[in-house]
Structure 1
């Protein structure tokens, strides 16, 4: 019988105060949205179901491009409303920021979620000109990487300049050995077809993998595996764990923002 890998992917169990973080994120996100006024365009529908919506945030001046942030939560949890404040750094650099929602498992398989993220980006790409950078965190890191795979052919593909998976799940096969798979319902076929590390990256798209130095060994392995498979750079952020590795998105001058948008 295969080993149970549930603990290897249990981030919150190893981060003090992790249980308090979702409420804090929601508060910070709400305050940020309120401060934007009509520059926050919330709940733009790209489909017919409640979660098929995307939030779009616009900078004060001319738009330099579109940055997409895809949230994590193991495809099982959260929605864009918890992450609005992470648009701060890109907006300060004059980039518009889109945050897509998607149907969560078990209502949707991961392959369907991948399709939904592609459709969400198509909607906002019609409204925002310029290059597109897609990044995401954890499960969102997986989804952002999928946008650069050669099996994807979105209408906006010629504008995709870079993907930047942060703490990504790049090889989904180990997740079949976790308790989460009761809801994810991954089988060997879908795990292979949806694993960016097992797929080719488009040659015209830049890729950067980012991960926290204090993350679980499984996530360091996932990040390194993708960087090796795609022959692209990876950066280990010193002292960062799985939940604060994305905090530098709020700082327009952080190394993460420089590498994302310069």
Structure 2
């Protein structure tokens, strides 16, 4: 039985993750981490049934020392994720991170820490299997279509832009695509930001609107043709199979894995 703790249980992703772990016969939800005092147990929160008698902590270090979970699933915010990841690794807890916001330097630090601790860690910009396949297919297509732009669309409560999925997609494409600036050599923005953000010459456009969940298009342009890859998550249940998969997989890892495509 895998002892699982979840950070951010009252968020939309967090609620789905709580229900998923509670229903999984191979897992036990042993604690949750919340930023707000909601009572001593999840059962006191109106978002959950009275049968969810799971202790609530406001401090991750206290949770770790009191409960000693095997895995901590972080679904909190980009502002907290680096601190949570390092604290887990330092104290022998395997992090499964579904919150984006790492800098390249922070990612490298966590990679080294996990290796030194001989401990598994998964950082997944996207838990939806379809999104992971989209990223992998994009890296394959980029070898043949070097001119590419990314449009990612999310709900208007998302804190970071571009999304972790778009950023990871651009990284994977950049590994196989010759660096070059796209568009006309004399192109000028009459409104700053009109061409989006640039990663290694790849333009990334972020859309934030109510009603959206998580959507991405990768557009490849060639002579006389357009090749488009697209993935849509219509609800947060689409991420749960990836979370369950990651919790099981991280128990056998002894290093940090960035992106589910590396262990599928």
Larger Rg: 2
Work out whether the TM-score is over 0.5: no
Higher helix share: 1
Q: TM-score range by the shorter chain?
A: 0.3 to 0.5
